[in-house]
Amino acid sequence: MTLSFRLRDALAAAGYTYDTVSDLLGTTAQAALARNETTPGRRVTRGGSPVETLTRMWLLQATVGIDDAERALPGLVDELCAEGILERSVSEVAARVDLRPYGTDSPDPRDNVSGNLWVASDLTPGLDGGPQRVGSDHVLGISPAATSLAEMTLRAPVGRALDLGTGCGVQSLHLATHVDDIVATDVNARALWLTRLNADLNGVELDVREGSFFEPVAGELFDLIVTNPPFVISPATGERLVYRDSGLPGDRVVEDIVRAIPKHLSPGGTGQVLANWAIRADTPWDERLAGWLEGSGCDAWIVQREILDLSSYVEMWLKDAGQHGAPDYYARYDTWLSWFDQVGVEAVGFGWITLRAAGTSDAAAERRLEEWRWGVEQPIGPEIGAHFDRVDQLRRLDDAALLASRPRLARDIVQETFGPAGAEDPSQIVLRRQTGMRRARPVDTVAAALAGAADGELTLGQLLAAIGELLGAIDVPARLDEVRDLVAEGFLEL
């Protein structure tokens, strides 16, 4: 049996699972670890059991005694050292990569350790105030961005998926729960080594390919493409951390990926990108990004989730690279801001890009670009899938078909009314979705009456006629436009 399969068995035998490790550490030590502090964790893992040893070694980056290590990983320590996963002195063993259990909400039916994955990546830098700098080929573990992409990914079963810039392979591990064939690519050979290890540890088959962006999949089509590319927008300095710097100017990497995705989608396929984009002084952000979609034949939904001011952005990424406090920190910070000035960037947007190969003309494609900084339901993937289903449904309905449809108010809607205390009638009515994007929509009495009466029994035509009799003449074309909006945003279902 290969080393990774024997390692997997040893991890399972040690009970090194997400739940066990969470229970062992408890909330205080976990919160401390999230702040890069290991002392509380070290204090609760001193017992010498296999799961304590593995937790100390991998999550807390503590050295452990050779006897404890052998007990936790029987017969494997020397081989793991030879592979570069552990390192050993005479009597102690330490981690050279991170290897931790990862709990998933949707247990993979093909995984015999239900809902638990193991993910190996490079060691988290900066624990307990240690050095923050990493090598240029550093491979990230499960970062907040990785989690965001996993949460926005559509999970409908499909045949083929591409995980572009796979890193340690975390997206592919998620994809394996609902995709038959997965191609995972990266330009970083170390990332591919860790991806293969993670595939074996989790009993997942992946087609792992080395190469830049779409080169390794030239001419191939996919039902789903997911990517969290190296999107940091920085001046070219010659230095490159491959997990975050593309080497391309500005946000070109994201533009290139968005322009390339349509050529690699099967009919009806979906491409999803988590990204930063430059917000320029001369063009509204949505106009610029809409330009990237021209000629694509794709429906698209782009959500700007955050706007980052340039100083915070530069500080965040200089700290991430371990430059904070370095002698040239001021010069780097200043150069970066001057470069933003020169190229006309005034802020950085962060958000979600989803493209659906609708096979339509640009004129018939539905492109929604919006800013939405409010809290949403997570995972948001199902709502993104539902959005594109609604777009398809509405495209097929002309006005006559819409009037003949039998709308039903979505189950998550509540109505909020506002007005002066004691007033008989509210001055404002708002319909609020409690799931998905958690949208709120002000409506007038006609739309509120329509929402209240839409129970799937009467046609829209009948509903509008009945409401017209009660509340006065109805402007039907305007109401049809409003109903389309209510359906598009998930307030009404057809």
Binding site for ligand SAM (CB under 6 A): 140, 143, 145-146, 149, 165-167, 170-171, 185-188, 191, 212-213, 228-230, 242-244, 246
Identity of the residue, 145 or 391, whose beta carbon is nearer to ligand SAM in the bound complex: 145
Nearest CB to ligand SAM, comparing residues 165 and 262: 165
Report in angstroms how near the CB of residue 398 gets to ligand SAM at its nearest. 42
56 secondary structure, DSSP code: I
Q: Closest distance between ligand SAM and the C-beta of residue 240, in Å? A: 9
Q: Which is nearer to ligand SAM, 185 or 296 (CB)?
A: 185
Closer residue to ligand SAM (CB): 225 or 358: 225
Return the closest-CA partner of residue 380 out of 154, 115, 226.
154
Q: Which of 273, 329, 321 is nearest to 300 (CA)?
A: 273
State residue 418 phi and psi, 5-degree precision: -130, 150
50/141 with CB nearer ligand SAM: 141
What is the distance between the alpha carbons of residues 253 and 171, in angstroms, rounded to a whole number? 19
Does residue 394 contact residue 166 with C-beta atoms inside 8 Å?
no
Closest distance of CB 85 from ligand SAM, Å: 19
Beta carbon nearer to ligand SAM, 149 or 413: 149
Long-range contacts from 20-26, C-beta under 8 angstroms, 24+ separation: 20/51, 20/101, 21/51, 21/55, 21/59, 21/100, 21/101, 22/103, 24/51, 24/52, 24/55, 25/55, 25/59
List Cα–Cα distances, 37 to 22, 34, 51, 62, 118, in angstroms: 16, 7, 20, 12, 22
SS3 372: coil
Nearer to ligand SAM, 20 or 143 (CB): 143
Q: Min. distance of Cβ 246 from ligand SAM in angstroms? A: 6
Quote the least distance from Cβ 226 to ligand SAM, whole Å: 8
Shortest Cβ 117–ligand SAM spacing (Å): 14
Query: Is the bond leading into 379 cis (omega within 30 degrees of zero)?
Result: yes
> What is the spatial distance between Cα 302 and Cα 290, in angstroms, rounded to a whole number?
9
Among the listed residues 480, 4, 400, the one whose alpha carbon sits nearest the alpha carbon of residue 202 = 4
CB of 206 to ligand SAM, least distance (A): 13
